[in-house]
Amino acid sequence: MLDILGQDIMYLSGVGPKKKEILNRELNIHTWRDLLEYYPYKYVDRSRIYAISELAADMPFVQIKGRILSFDEYEMGRNKKRVVAHFTDGQGIVDLVWFSGAQYIYKTYKLGTEYIVFGKPTVYGGRYQFAHPDMDDAASLQLSEMGMQPYYITTERMKKAGLTSRGVEKMTKTLIGKLPETLPETLPPYITAPLHLVSRRDALRQIHYPKNVQEMQEARLRLKFEELFYVQLNILRYARDHRRRYRGYIFGHVGNLFNEFYYHHLSFALTAAQKRVIREIRGDMGTGRQMNRLLQGDVGSGKTLVALMSMLIALDNGFQACIMAPTEILAEQHYHTIQSFLQGMDVQVELLTGIVKGKRREQTLERLAKGEVQILVGTHAVIEDPVRFARLGMAVVDEQHRFGVAQRAKLWAKSENPPHILVMTATPIPRTLAMTLYGDLDVSVIDELPPGRKPVQTLHKFDTQLTSLYQGIRQQVDQGRQVYIVFPLIEESEKTDLKNLEAGYASLCEIFPDYRLSKVHGKMKSKEKEEEMRRFVSGETQILVATTVIEVGVNVPNASVMVILDAQRFGLSQLHQLRGRVGRGADQSYCILVTNYKLAEDTRKRIDIMCDTNDGFRIAEADLKLRGPGDLEGTQQSGIAFDLKIADIARDGQLVQMARDEAQKIIDNDPNCDSETYRMLWDRLKELRKSDVNWSAIS
């Protein structure tokens, strides 16, 4: 049976070499199985025929049954004709209209033959008409077979070759007709029976040709669950193998450095969430297995402090630690933060980035190799070949999604055994996505802000209100505060009406002649950027005009206002990250989202969510539902693709959890993956791993 589904798509009746080439290129369909797993994106109910007298202009797609009475032609300019067929069901008359393909129309549709016409009714000249309707010979079309008509996504190139949605539907119908009564199962009865899942064959038939909504839902449930189950089974199998294979350094005690810092140098109380996370990390480090933990925490929640205290545990056990950040600005921020925390303590901390050169770099590398540098803070420079640790026991990676897999692997190789790993992210990741993105990591969450922080007040303004907005900025600056103004573009583009930074900066200099302004964008040289940032951080300039390069790694407690121009062009997670640049001091801070009046529904929802909540996890959940996982901050840049053909991580959260629970039972019952009871599952997983399924969703 599997050989039948593995046949080249060219050998399916009605395809041939030309259509094969288009299907290969446009949809990556090469075999019968690929076509069978190319699922419809929507359905239209075709189980009912309407009388012409029942039609209304606001109806969706409907079908009527009758005969063509006559044809008329109307000239539409040079070599163009509009063909109109007058169509009756015996009680009323409608017009069927085509604006091209006259020869095909006359050749295909005959007077007196009974047809079923399917399309959207509109009113023109006082009569209902259907433009370019679907038409089938009523004698060859059994109404009882029709049910829900599937619709398939197609491309312009496919349509030109006659491969419309209807064309794909006909190919799929031919293929389903060739399937035997039973197909080899891919899920065993001990999973399908308790969950009331239909068989694979029924699911594949019903997904393409459901007789009703219930059949369609049953098919979708079965196919979605199967996809998610094997993704989760693979993740959990990988995580178990990883834990079994890699032994971690045992950090058996919390010593002098940790205790000295905690009792004598920490000038404020840890939050309950920070204490809980430190306990989880301490537990991992003492088990003898390598820690592999994801630390999620909103902007300003105190992740760096937790990372520092974790690194001090490594130091207390005779090991070195490092922290790797994606940008020089963020690395320097971590370096200065850690130095200020450890002031007065005998802990050697050094910075290693692209700007650390010459004698200072040589000395840092030499002292690191001797074990004299205890904490190294840096960018990807940390993983370069000349960098050698005496005894690396812990590595912290900030915003992991900005580093490639190969880069992270080079860091792990800096130690005799893999070091304990703490991955930090300020981009809150919804639980269902984290289970798939970072399924092999244990997850810790800092879900509260330090006491004394006032929530940032978020306001929505239209671009006609800029005059009053600028007046508010003057009041804040006159009180000694600083302001960010963010533009989405650097230079003007003919294709967009967005404000651009260069013109905006010049204009703002005229609007605020009494203040000093800085300008930062991605096309500036590193030195220029660093200098402009330094001026703003030190308070030399009051207003920073920037693109989204300031999204990560800028800590200016005195900044109290974030203005985001053309906010409709930003995603929710990005808006939330930008908002996190303010609200870091004790003063009330504001985030102003500026848009035009014409907003799409999704955009209005994004703006409303930002104004309603400061909760990064609520925002991330909303972003996931609005945009999908592939567009989320971090997932797209890192090349993570789920290759899910029917399941949706955003909308199928309960199914993700159900699939994970079932997969966990299998792992618990068969930790070595060799039980005959689960042979079908392990064989299927191997089959999927050999196919073109992209398993890179695993961290």
pLDDT, tens only, 421-433: 898 887 767 666 6
Angle formed by the axes of helices 679-690 and 213-245, nearest 10°: 90
Task: Choose among 405, 640, 550: nearest CA to 632.
Answer: 640
pLDDT at position 122 is 93
pLDDT, tens digit, 9 for 90 and up, residues 28-38? 999 999 999 99
Taking the C-alpha atoms of residue 461 and residue 471, their distance in angstroms, rounded to an integer, is 14
pLDDT along the chain (699 residues), means of 10: 76 89 92 92 84 88 92 84 93 92 90 92 91 86 68 88 88 88 89 94 92 90 94 86 78 91 90 94 88 82 92 95 87 89 93 88 94 93 89 87 63 82 79 65 79 85 90 93 86 56 88 91 78 86 84 73 91 83 84 90 88 82 66 39 70 84 92 89 85 45
Taking the C-alpha atoms of residue 560 and residue 587, their distance in angstroms, rounded to an integer, is 7
Task: Choose among 649, 610, 621: nearest CA to 430.
Answer: 621
State the DSSP code for 54: G
Taking the C-alpha atoms of residue 561 and residue 583, their distance in angstroms, rounded to an integer, is 8
Q: 73 CB contacts (<8 Å, ≥6 apart)?
A: 81, 82, 83, 84, 102
Task: Choose among 216, 231, 200: nearest CA to 1.
Answer: 200
Taking the C-alpha atoms of residue 559 and residue 425, their distance in angstroms, rounded to an integer, is 22
CB 66 within 8 A of CB 89: yes
Taking the C-alpha atoms of residue 644 and residue 661, their distance in angstroms, rounded to an integer, is 19
pLDDT at position 472 is 92
Phi, psi of 595 (to 5 degrees): -135, 175
pLDDT at position 643 is 65
Q: If 0-12 CB within 10 Å is exposed, 13-18 middle and 19+ buried, where does residue 628 land? A: middle
pLDDT at position 696 is 41
Terminal C-alpha separation, the chain: 35
Angle (CA) 290 291 292, round 5°: 115
pLDDT, tens digit, 9 for 90 and up, residues 306-321? 999 999 999 999 999 9
pLDDT at position 306 is 95
The alpha-helical segments, DSSP class H, found in 28-142 are 32-36, 102-108
- Which two three-digit tokens encode residue 236? 């959990």
In 414-464, beta strands by DSSP E:
420-425, 442-446, 457-462
Q: If 0-12 CB within 10 Å is exposed, 13-18 middle and 19+ buried, where does residue 189 land? A: exposed
The alpha-helical segments, DSSP class H, found in 414-544 are 431-437, 466-478, 501-511, 526-538
Task: Choose among 309, 308, 301: nearest CA to 337.
Answer: 308
pLDDT, tens digit, 9 for 90 and up, residues 339-367? 999 999 999 999 998 888 889 999 999 99
pLDDT at position 3 is 64
